[in-house]
């Protein structure tokens, strides 16, 4: 499976460098490498499960806007033929990417149920996670800025509670509420 292979390619050097810095880390790295290998091997599934997996990554092209294996129209002009093609390709031992390529060539890029991780399509995946990273950083910056902001002034004769005195009040509140 491409997903698993990518994981192994990215994961192996990272884990190897991690492993150089101590025995505990070495053991951890070995365990993780083993896990990565197991995940990579999971890709070599039987034809039925591969058919099921790839079939759920493709769309029926009859216009019903449904996943290929979920299209439930009897007499659908497209889905039966597409399923047969998929089964033939999987039984022949074609790789996932080869099957996808042949379907894209025949039916166009809309046959894939999700954008690929190539070219501009990659933006579909990058943008939400970039937004997450940006939003997370922004919040941390906002919190820092707020922390450094001076406390609002209190009425004459009062001073803000802070430090040990604040902790004392917190303890008192905890005891009184038993929480």
Partner 1 sequence: MAVLGSFALLLALALSVYTFLAGIIALIEGAGSERIGETARRAGIATFGAVLLASVILVICAFHDDFSIAYIFHHSNRDLPGPYKFAVLWSGQEGSLLFWSLLLAAYGFVLRLRYKTDPRLFAYASVVLAGVQIFFLLLLNFAANPFGILEGPLRPDGSGLNPLLQYPEMVIHPPMLYLGYVGFTVPFAFALGALIMKYPGEKWIHITRRWTMVTWAFLTCGVFLGAHWAYSVLGWGGYWGWDPVENASLMPWLTGTAFLHSVMMQEKRGMLKMWNMWLVFATFWLAILGTFLTRSGIIASVHAFAQSSIGDWFAWFLCITLAVFLFFFFTNKSSLRSEHKLESLISRESSFLFNNLLFVLLCFTVLWGTWFPKISELVQGNKVTVGGPFYNRVAIPVALLLLILTAVGPLLAWRKTSLESLKRNFLWPTIGAIAVALFLIITPQSWGSPFGLRPWQDISYFYSLMAIALAVLVILTVASEFYRGGRVISKHTGQGMFASMVQLTHRNTRRYGGYIVHFGVVVVIIGFAGAAFNQDKEMEMANGDKMSIGPYSLICRSYTEDDNPNFASQWAILDIYKGGKQIGTMTPVRRFYKASQQTSTMPDIRSGLNEDLYLVFEGLNQDNGHPIIKAHLNALVMWIWMGVWIMLIGTVLALVPNAPAPVRVPAPARLETAPVTGD
Does the footprint of partner 1 cover residue 16 (CB under 8 A)?
Answer: no
Rule CB under 8 A: say whether 87 interacts with partner 1: no
Token pair 């004769």 is found at: 157
Report if residue 28 touches partner 1, rule: CB under 8 A: no
d(CA 110, CA 165): 65
DSSP class per residue in the chain: -HHHHHHHHHHHHHHHHHHTT-HHHHHHHHHHHHHHHHHHHHTS--HHHHHHHHHTTBB-TTSS--BGGG---TT-TTHHHHHHHHHHHHHHT--HHHHHHHHHHHH-GGGBSS--SSGGGHHHHHHHHHHHHHHHHHHHHHHHHHHHSPPPPPPTT-----HHHHHHHHHHHHHHHT-
Taking the complex as a whole, how short is the minimal distance between the CB of residue 22 and partner 1, in angstroms?
A: 25
Shortest Å distance, C-beta 21 to partner 1: 26
Q: How far is the CB of 155 from partner 1 (least distance, A)?
A: 15
**Sole window of 8-16, 19-27, 34-42, 90-98 interacting with partner 1 (rule: CB under 8 A):** 34-42
Evaluate the CA torsion angle 73, 77, 82, 88 in order and state its sign.
positive
Instruction: Out of 2, 3, 21, 101, name the contact with partner 1 by CB under 8 A.
Output: 3
Contact call for residue 109 and partner 1 (CB under 8 A): yes
Which residue lies nearer to partner 1 by CB, 29 or 40? Answer: 40
Q: Which of 146, 156, 158, 163 binds partner 1 (CB under 8 A)?
A: 146
Per CB under 8 A, residues contacting partner 1 are 3, 35, 38-39, 42, 56-57, 59, 64-67, 69-72, 74-75, 108-115, 119-121, 124-125, 127-129, 131-132, 135-136, 139-140, 142-143, 146-147, 149, 151-152, 170, 177-179
């Amino acid at each position: 499976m491409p997903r698993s292979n990518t994981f192994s390619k990215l994961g192996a050097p990272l884990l190897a460098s991690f492993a150089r810095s101590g025995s505990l880390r070495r053991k951890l790295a070995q365990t993780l490498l083993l896990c990565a290998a197991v995940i990579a091997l999971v890709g070599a599934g039987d034809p039925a499960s591969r058919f099921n997996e790839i079939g759920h990554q493709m769309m029926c092209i009859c216009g019903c806007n449904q996943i290929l294996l979920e299209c439930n129209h009897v007499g659908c002009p497209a889905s039966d033929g597409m399923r047969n093609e998929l089964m033939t390709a999987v039984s022949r031992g074609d790789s996932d990417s080869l099957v996808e390529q042949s379907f894209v060539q025949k039916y166009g890029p809309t046959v894939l149920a999700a954008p690929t991780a190539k070219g501009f399509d990659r933006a579909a995946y990058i943008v939400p996670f970039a937004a997450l990273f940006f939003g997370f950083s922004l919040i941390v910056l906002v919190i820092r800025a707020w922390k450094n902001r001076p406390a609002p002034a209190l009425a004459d004769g009062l001073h803000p509670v802070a430090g040990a005195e604040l902790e004392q009040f917190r303890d008192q509140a905890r005891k009184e509420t038993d929480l």
